[in-house]
Amino acid sequence: MKRDTVAAGTWIGIWGTVLIILLSYLEMTFGILNTPPWNIAADVFLTSANIKTLYGLIIGMAGTLALGIATTLFIAAILRLTGTDYAWLKGVIVANAIGFGTMGLFMPMLNISENIQSEPWTNILALLDLTIFGLFTGYMLKKSFQQRVEK
């Protein structure tokens, strides 16, 4: 796995997504997050009535995980193209760019979770969580790439 960018990116993306899910859960616990990312992901596939069901949770978590892995693989590709200097910063930039594209362009265009536009804290926390995700995944990818060179 240490030589395989896709495998390393997938594992790091899984752990980064777990981090986002934990952060979102804490934010919900403190009452500052209105709509968690897994509900937004479920809204892509399900009707509103099914989002907060067990099926919605499963599909939403799978969608959140898929987007986290895809974002991490994109960060890995950027690091492969540009090098691992400032990997944490590149991770933040890529994760937030994908977040802005998703939340600001595709979600409104496709009428996904339309309520999000009236939830400023949900948007602010999403960008904060994506920043933490980008820091984590960029750093971990750099470590993964460095381990390859040492072997």
The whole-number pLDDT of residue 148 equals 67
- Report if residue 43 sits inside a domain: no
**Average per-residue pLDDT for the chain:** 93
Domain assignment present for 49: no
pLDDT at 149: 61
The residues, ordered by sequence, that sit 6+ positions from 48 with a Cβ below 8 Å of its Cβ are none
- Burial status of residue 82 (CB atoms within 10 A of its CB: 0-12, 13-18, 19 or more): exposed
Count the domains in the chain: 1
Would you say residue 115 has pLDDT above 60? yes
Instruction: Report yes or no on 23 lying in a domain.
Output: yes
Residue 92 domain-assigned (yes or no): yes
Q: Does residue 37 lie in a domain region?
A: no
pTM over 0.85: yes
Model confidence at 19, pLDDT cuts 50, 70, 90, reads very high
**Could you tell me the residue range of the domain that residue 82 belongs to?**
5-28+65-150
At 33, is the pLDDT very low, low, confident or very high (cuts 50, 70, 90)? confident
